[in-house]
Amino acid sequence: MKDKKSQLQAESFYAVKWNAGVLTLLDQRKLPNEVIYRDYNSAISVADAINKMVVRGAPAIGIAAAYAVVLAASSAYQNSPSDWRENVEEVLELLAASRPTAVNLNWAIMKMRQKFETISGNPENDLLDLAIKIHNNDITSNYEMGRLGSELIKPNSEVITHCNAGALATGGYGTALGVIRTAHQKGLLKKVYASETRPWYQGARLTSWELKQDNIPVSLLVDSAISNLMQIEKISWLIVGADRIAANGDIANKIGTYSHAVSAKHHNTKVMVVAPSSTIDMKIDSGKRIPIEDRPTKEVTDLYSAKTFSNSIKILNPAFDITPASLIDYLVTEKGIICEPNAKKMLTIFG
């Protein structure tokens, strides 16, 4: 395979990297205790890595899927140069189904598939060029959203973020954490709080780790402490990412975002959602129609800690929830900021 590299990001770590025909993913399940990179050379193994949370975060799984399409098409072409397009479909479907809520996954596969028609001969180089472009565009968008979002933040602000919407969840720099990084560089932040984000602890394990690498002080809270924090301290912003944004401005994001947004409304804390346009799904008219991933119940009982309760009781483990547009003050994308998003404003920019 061509010796092309994907990398524009400034961090010392990366979630997704392509180098000389191999896709490398940072195993985020092991952070922060171990930094383990794993190599992948088949699309099926990448689908499994996405499903099992080796790589997570909507933009990062979209980018990983784009590289997985390169692997799939390349192998299908080697097996049968005349009908690689048909032969690759089954594995693309498997890849698309690996996580249902984050629309970036389908978006990236759709972009890669559109390219198929323009290719003659071996698809590897053309598809790899596109995957690298998707990756690099994501990083560029994150810097732009960081710039735009930080312009909304006043000096001395205290912010809360939920889950991990940082470099680990994207091509690099991050969406919500991109805004927080830029605001920190501008000296605008008094305090940053991260909620732990059960059951995978993305806030506790990943956001805290990422911010520490950048020397951005962060305090960690259990998820149920967020309303209390808003009650006793003036929190200016709740800043989060999104996995899918419907045409009316409703967003799906990590379970718990909705309750944080309800508390924010009550305490006059502004809600900023930061996401690239690849997260917007104009085909879905309302958040009510966004598919919510149900994850294995063992994640509730067995992850990261000694088992403290029986798994014989009924357990629900929805991975995401819907925050209605009415609770969102600003939607920041690389194409601009929408204040109080609604269907009409979304159509103007993304229609």
The span from the CA of 198 to the CA of 288, in Å, is 23
Q: Is 329 assigned a catalytic role?
A: no
Kindly tell me which residue out of 14, 18, 43, 56 binds ligand MRU, with binding defined by CB under 6 A.
Answer: 56
When binding is defined by CB under 6 A, the residue of 74, 98, 106, 170 that contacts ligand MRU is 170
| Binding mask of the shown chain, residues 285 to 324, with x at each position contacting ligand MRU by CB under 6 A | ----------------------------------x-----
Return d(Cα 205, Cα 26) in angstroms, integer: 14
**Smallest distance from the beta carbon of 289 to ligand MRU, in angstroms?**
18
Question: Of these residues, 243, 250, 321, 329, which one is catalytic?
Answer: 243
Contact 63, 125 (CB under 8 A): no
Does 57 interact with ligand MRU (rule: CB under 6 A)? Answer: yes
Distance from C-alpha of 62 to C-alpha of 140, rounded to nearest angstrom: 15
- Residue 6 vs 101, nearer CB to ligand MRU: 101
Q: Give backbone dihedrals phi and psi of 281, rounded to 5 degrees, phi first.
A: -120, 90
User: How many CB atoms neighbour CB 301 within 10 A?
Assistant: 18
Close Cβ partners of 227 (under 8 Å, ≥ 6 residues apart): 259, 263, 266, 267
CB 84 within 8 A of CB 123: yes
Please pick, from the candidates 75, 106, 141, 175, the single residue that binds ligand MRU as defined by CB under 6 A.
175
The full length of the chain comes to: 351
The DSSP string of 325-344 is GGG-SEEEETTEEEES--HH
Q: Which of 124, 243, 329, 334 binds ligand MRU (CB under 6 A)?
A: 243
Q: Is residue 8 within 8 Å of 140, Cβ to Cβ? A: yes
Interaction with ligand MRU in 107-146: which residues (CB under 6 A)?
none
Tell me the helix, strand and coil percentages in the chain, rounded to 5: 45, 20, 40
Q: Which residue is nearest to ligand MRU (CB)?
A: 241
Residues 190-229 that bind ligand MRU (CB under 6 A): 200, 202
Q: Contact region for ligand MRU (CB under 6 A) — 169-177, 211-219, 223-231, 334-342?
A: 169-177
E-state strands within 116-227:
157-162, 189-195, 219-221
The single residue among 6, 98, 253, 278 that binds ligand MRU, judged by CB under 6 A, is 253
Stretch of 53-61, 72-80, 210-218, 300-308 contacting ligand MRU, by CB under 6 A: 53-61
The binder of ligand MRU chosen from 100, 172, 203, 241 (CB under 6 A): 241
Select 132 or 145, whichever has its Cβ closest to ligand MRU: 145
Site residues for ligand MRU per CB under 6 A: 56-59, 102, 163, 165, 169-170, 175, 200, 202, 241-243, 253-254, 319
Q: Which residues are catalytic?
A: 243
